[in-house]
Amino acid sequence: MTTGLNALTLTEVAALLRRREASATEVLDAVLARARAVQPKLNCFLRIDEELAREAARLADLELARGRLRGPLHGVPMAHKDMYYREGVPSSCGARVKGNEPERTTATALKRLDAAGAIQFGVLHMAEFAYGPTGHNYHDGHCRNPWNTAHVTGGSSSGSGASVAARAGFAALGSDTGGSVRLPAAICGITGLKVSYGRVSRAGAMPLSFSMDTVGPLARTAADCALMLSVLAGPDPADPTASAEPVPDYLARLALPVKGLRVGVPMSYFTDDIDAAVGAALTESIKAIASLGCEIVPVALPDLVPVDAAGTHVIAAEAAAYHGNWLRTRAEKYSPQVRARLERGLAIPAARYIDALRMRGPALAEFSKAVFAKVDVLHAPCIPIPTPTIAETDVGGSPNMDRTLALMTKFMRPFNYLGLPSLAVPCGFLASGLPVGMQLVGRPYAEDAILRLGHAFQQATDWHRREPPL
Amino acid sequence: MNPRASETYVTEVLALQGVAAAPEAARAIAPTLSAQLAAADPGYAALAFDVEPATFLVALDREKP
């Protein structure tokens, strides 16, 4: 068990810093020591910028001593998925083909975290170009699950999941195009927020699929995610898809009651392929939600198989367009798996890609009519199976590899396609010691509702407090 | 689109775009692509003639709380 500063949540450490009960330098020291201790086992950091972070922490302490508080994250050290550009610094995006040129802009998400007082101390492991669900990376080495290093972390925000679970960070940015925040959150036993499409600016973040990409946090708790979102959300002239929808006070709304909230439990699709032990943990989570005074409502869903497939078409076609030039000129610099996924996108007929975009509005309307006309939040599994090993999801590692990867993503992608917010919350553990996660899915821009329910669940359970035995 | 036919299709359509896919890659991609197209087809077939992609943004706004 970690003790002291590393054991605190983001909201706790931020409050401690504001009260000057710990200095930014002390907090950074604790995080750097933990990062160094876990890195050989987990491979979750791609780079640690110790000198820059130390100088920033020194400045943060000086400002606090003079009574200047930059914002709600003043002095909190953070590392982020290595796809958020910072001017003058190269972002690897977990790849080699991109080269090592310094970025010419800073991501809006980083600018907002900077303005809130956060201190970036490094960059985190990720799947090559965020195009993989497991945490494999053949260039940087695979990231490893802190609960059992033989198992995958989930991806593509692999380092974000592993480092926050390992208490080597309080929160981290991930990105979610087809599950890349929620998978590592669920698999590493932490909390991850996939936001509504457009809720957070994508400017300066590496694109994978402009129609599906979302920027979101991974942290220990729903309250931590609410704090991060309160800093990140809002319109941005640099991203025309960033919504002008008003940003509520997410932290204040955590305190609203959940009694009487209607929580839907799917009667189809999310009931398929569920492992018995995973299913038992999910059933217990529904009982815990019911005990909060929520009304549990079985919900008949529209057919999500075409929705999932259409989401795949959108991601594949858009990713292939971004990567077309490199595929023509230096394809050998991609790992074979990512190259094959990208090439698949080049073979999708243009009319089929446009059909996939045309179907999105009607699909959202149909889903909302079936679900949100009856309930406020939908409860769903994150993945139906126990977390697979790195070996069995490696190329040639198992004859079932393709099916395993498909099972890992099938409950994720529909919500990217539908543009809905979803919170991954730890809700149990298997006998193997590996975590199980649930999703709480809300209406468009109703992040406040799912964060509130996730927070209430975490007040009544302790799954999110469990720490990997590193 | 059956998998055998789409293997040829994949190889040729990549070549038309100046991308030389290894034969093994085309073989690996073709069945997956065929299956995904087949899975989405019922949804695409049900689309009304004049639905545009921008209806998604309209739906996002309409379905918010």
Q: What is the pLDDT of residues A358-413, one digit of tens each?
A: 999 999 999 999 999 999 999 999 999 999 999 999 877 777 888 899 999 999 99
Residue A5 near residue A26, CB atoms below 8 Å: yes
Buried b (16+ CB within 10 A) or exposed e, A67-105: eeebbbbbbbbbbbbbbbbbeeebbbbbbbbbeeeebee
Could you tell me what percent of chain A has a pLDDT over 70?
A: 100
φ, ψ of residue A425 to 5 degrees: the values are: -130, 130
A298: which strand partners? A265
Q: What would the pLDDT profile of A428-438 be if each residue is shown by its tens digit?
A: 999 999 999 99
Handedness of CA A206, A241, A118, A164 (dihedral sign): negative
pLDDT, position B4 = 46
- CB contacts of A327 in chain B (<8 Å) are 19
Identify the band that residue A167 occupies on the pLDDT scale cut at 50, 70 and 90. Answer: very high
Q: Which residues pair with A389 in a beta bridge?
A: A151
pLDDT band at A193 (very low <50, low <70, confident <90, very high): very high
As annotated, the active-site residues of A are 81, 156, 180
Exposure b/e, A306-315, CB count within 10 A at least 16 = b: bbbbbbbbbb
Number of Cβ atoms within 10 Å of the Cβ of B61: 12
| Two structure tokens written together for B20 | 């030389």
* Whether the Cβ atoms of residue A359 and residue A306 lie closer than 8 Å to each other: yes
Please tell me what DSSP assigns to residue A200.
B
Q: Helix/strand/coil (H, E, C) string of A226-271?
A: HHHHHHHECCCCCCCCCCCCCCCCHHHHCCCCCCCCEEEEECCCCC
Q: In chain A, which residues have their Cβ closer than 8 Å to the Cβ of B40? A: 306, 309-310, 312-313, 352, 355-356, 359
The alpha-carbon gap from B10 to the nearest alpha carbon of chain A, in Å, equals 6
Q: Is B2 on the interface with A (CB under 8 A)?
A: no
Residue A131 has a pLDDT of: 96
Cβ within 8 Å of residue A222, ≥6 positions away: A191, A254, A423, A425, A451, A452, A454, A455, A457, A458
Lowest-confidence pick of A312-326, A332-346, B18-32? B18-32
DSSP string, A30-64: HHHHHHHHHHHHH--EEEE-HHHHHHHHHHHHHHH
Choose between B6 and A53: higher pLDDT.
Answer: A53
Give the count of beta carbons closer than 10 Å to the beta carbon of residue A334.
24
- Does residue B5 register a pLDDT over 90? no
- Which residues partner with A175 through β-bridges? A215
pLDDT surpasses 80 at A452: yes
In chain B, which residues have their Cβ closer than 8 Å to the Cβ of A337? none
Across the interface, whether the CB atoms of A364 and B25 are under 8 A apart is answered no
Q: Is the pLDDT of residue B32 over 80?
A: no
pLDDT for residue B28 is more than 80: no
Say whether residue B18 is in contact with chain A using an 8 A CB cutoff.
yes
User: How many other CB atoms sit within 10 Å of the CB of residue A261?
Assistant: 19
Indicate the pLDDT class of residue B27, thresholds 50, 70 and 90: low
- Nearest-Cα distance to chain A for B3, in Å, is 13
Q: What is the DSSP string of A318-345?
A: HHHHHHHHHHHH-GGGS-HHHHHHHHHH
Q: For residue B8, count other CB atoms closer than 10 A to its CB.
A: 11
Q: What pLDDT, on the 0 to 100 scale, is given for residue A3? A: 73
pTM greater than 0.95 (yes/no): yes
Suggest the residue from B56, B57, B61, B62 to mutate for an interface test with chain A (most A CBs closer than 10 A): B56
Q: What is the pLDDT of residue B1?
A: 47
For A411, the 3-state DSSP assignment is coil
Q: What is the pLDDT of residue B22?
A: 67
Confidence of residue B23 (pLDDT cuts 50, 70, 90): low
Instruction: Name, in order, each residue with C-beta under 8 angstroms of A429's C-beta and a sequence gap of 6 or more.
Output: A189, A281, A435, A436, A463, A466
- Determine whether the interchain pair B37/A347 forms a contact, defined as Cβ–Cβ distance below 8 Å: no
Rounded percentage of chain A residues whose pLDDT exceeds 90: 95
User: At B26, is the pLDDT very low, low, confident or very high (cuts 50, 70, 90)?
Assistant: low
Q: Between vectors from CA A95 to CA A396 and to CA A173, what angle results, nearest 5°?
A: 105
Q: Which residues of A touch B42 (CB under 8 A)?
A: 303, 306
Instruction: Write out pLDDT tens, residues A264-323.
Output: 999 999 999 999 999 999 999 999 999 999 999 999 999 999 999 999 999 999 999 999
3-class secondary structure, A416: helix
Ranges A221-235, A383-397, A407-421: which has the least confidence:
A383-397
Distance CA A284, CA A291 (A): 10
**ipTM of predicted complex:** 0.92
Average pLDDT over residues A324-329: 95
Q: Is the pLDDT of residue B3 over 50?
A: no
- Name the CA dihedral angle for B30, B35, B40, B41, rounded to a multiple of 10 degrees: 90
